[in-house]
Amino acid sequence: MQMSLRWFGSKFDTVTLKQIKQIPGVEGVITTLYDIPAGEVWPIEKIQALKAEVESADLKVLGIESVNIHDAIKIGSPERDQYIANYIETLDNLGKEGITTVCYNFMPVFDWTRTDLAKMRHDGSTVMAYDQSVIDNINPQTFFDQTTSNSKGFEMPGWEPERLAKVQELFAAYAEVSEEKLFDNLVYFLKAIQPVCEKYGIKMAIHPDDPAWPVFNLPRIITSKEKILKLMKAVDAPFNGLTFCAGSFGTNPKNDLPGIIRALPGRIHFAHVRNLQHFSPGVFEEAAHLSRDGSFDLYEIVKALYDIGFDGPVRPDHGRMIWDEVAMPGYGLYDRALGATYINGLYEAIQKNDQRK
């Protein structure tokens, strides 16, 4: 397991590489070229500059989150082959630079969705929260406008203004896309990128849908153990893997998180480890990483990763906003540093316990 922190680049992140370097056990960052719109080729010079910047802080680029997928690919419209060709060129450039873990998602229109970006918690921190009844009573355009105006001026991952300015058009374009069609379009995409991935040993790590059910009636296809296994079988090659995200699968309390991990040896390429607190079906808020602060057993999650021999990058996920920090919702320094330290502690205990048997 390689401990990492997500970093959006010096132009966009309030957290510096110097700060990240000082979190014990963090070997590198999971980063991106945040200002390149989905669908465009990532120029190799920009990848090289990003890598040089990270390495000059004595950290590694442990993976990319995300190389986003253009909607034409998800919809399966006639321009998709051009966008897939662009994606392949980006992967080729990443592969040449030795960057071989790529996280992406296949969620239509909205990426991860929360109905409150700063809900006050019992401990005085603020967290992101979700209440399905809010979604049921708002139209998508208003929801998008509200979310972006509540994000304290930060552009949030997956909520690119230029793409979502046209929410209505996007919804119209997805009107004919059923769950089956979306799945087939994903398989088509994966088969097309398979050669470049295999050439460089690139591991594609799909991020589950968050929350793990349809939002605004848009189809969602990576929501449970059965669904991810279906995808693993449809393109049955090691490059086709998962970003195990506890917070996303865990939005549905019926998902057995350690069980999902144990079902996927060799196919988990990246892990997001965090905790949520459930209140009632469709109503939850994010919690501190500590097991007893929320509804998940983080020990069992880290133990399952250890037991399947997971050796890829892991990162703490959305943190609470604490100690008066001002940062992108979910992505401040302090609570994620506490999360990394906690996960490292769990891992050390599990490993030593195992070695002493």
> Contact with ligand DNO (CB under 6 A): which of 158, 241, 313, 316?
158
The tokens 């209140």 sit on which residue? 279
Q: Please give the DSSP secondary-structure letter assigned to residue 293.
A: G
131 binds ligand DNO (CB under 6 A): no
Nearer to ligand DNO, 207 or 267 (CB): 207
Best CA proximity match to 47, nearest among 38, 36, 58: 36
The nearest distance, CB 230 to ligand DNO, in angstroms, is 19
> Strand, coil or helix: what is 58?
coil
The nearest distance, CB 243 to ligand DNO, in angstroms, is 7
Known catalytic residue at 289: no
Dihedral over alpha carbons 190, 195, 201, 207 (to 10 degrees): -10
What residues from 192 to 231 belong to the interface with ligand DNO (CB under 6 A)?
207
The nearest distance, CB 112 to ligand DNO, in angstroms, is 4
Best CA proximity match to 204, nearest among 190, 192, 216, 183: 190
> Contact with ligand DNO (CB under 6 A): which of 15, 20, 64, 65?
65
Known catalytic residue at 269: no
Residue in 83, 111, 245, 347 annotated catalytic:
245
115 binds ligand DNO (CB under 6 A): no
User: Cis (ω within 30 of 0) for the bond into 224?
Assistant: no
Instruction: Show the site string, 323-352: x = touches ligand DNO by CB under 6 A, - = not.
Output: -------x----------------------
Using the Cα atoms of residue 331, residue 334, residue 337 and residue 338 in order, give the sign of their dihedral: negative
Known catalytic residue at 335: no
105 binds ligand DNO (CB under 6 A): yes
274 binds ligand DNO (CB under 6 A): no
285 binds ligand DNO (CB under 6 A): no
Distance CA 172, CA 342 (A): 44
Distance CA 242, CA 257 (A): 13
4 binds ligand DNO (CB under 6 A): no
104 binds ligand DNO (CB under 6 A): yes
Per-residue burial over 5-24, b = 16 or more CB atoms within 10 Å of its CB, e = otherwise: bbbbbeeebebebebbeebe
8 binds ligand DNO (CB under 6 A): no
Known catalytic residue at 131: no
Residue in 317, 334, 342, 347 annotated catalytic:
317
Nearer to ligand DNO, 140 or 330 (CB): 330
Edge-first strand order for the sheet with 126-131 is: 116-120, 126-131, 283-286, 276-280
The nearest distance, CB 64 to ligand DNO, in angstroms, is 10
Distance CA 289, CA 6 (A): 16
Known catalytic residue at 207: yes
Any idea which residues carry the catalytic annotation?
207, 245, 272, 317-318, 331
